[in-house]
Amino acid sequence: MKFDIKIKAQSNNVFEVMIKTEEENGLIMWNGGADFIGLAVVDGYVMFTYQLGSGTLKMVSTVYVSDGNFHRIYASRYVRDGTLHVDDEDPVLDSSNPGASQLNTDGALYVGGAPHVPPKKLPRGFETNFVGCIGDIRIEDQQLHMFYDVKSSHPESFCSLMR
């Protein structure tokens, strides 16, 4: 699903989302091209990554999420400093390389899959469509309505994993 949420040139980003999956790999969210920011399930764990122009930062949670239960994910970036928090785990903190500090993208946010993810040596989870449930998405403290705000691929359901 594609959303036009105007993430173009920013110094900070905040994403919150609930997921449920039994799959080991799958793209949750993606925004960008040469500069990018994304969330995916990689080998059963959430990975948060971004590239501002001076190297790719990859952060991995310590909570296994491919267990068929719902998990709340919080990922943020302030200039070069990133935070990834899944459920009640201690936050994972890291910083991208010195230099660039602004995210410059076309503004399109893809949820659950994307037509192209730049081959920046990212794990397979970023190239695999998400199978499961994605919901309760908040971008910069604003609720994303998954039916009315979508710009393409109006889904019939936001869960491909019904149990």
Measured CA to CA, the distance from residue 24 to residue 1 in angstroms comes to 20
Evaluate whether residue 92 is within a structural domain: yes
Amino acid in the structure at residue 137: I
What's the domain count of the chain? 1
Mean pLDDT of 108-125: 80
Domain coverage including residue 131: 2-152
Q: Which of 23-27, 33-37, 44-48 has the lowest mean pLDDT?
A: 33-37
List pLDDT tens digits, range 66-97: 999 999 999 999 999 999 999 999 999 999 99
Q: Is residue 138 in a domain?
A: yes
Residue with tokens 């081959």: 119
83 close to 90: Cβ distance less than 8 angstroms: no
Q: What is the DSSP letter of 70?
A: E
Q: How does residue 50 score in pLDDT terms, banded at 50, 70 and 90?
A: very high
Question: What pTM value is reported for the model?
Answer: 0.86
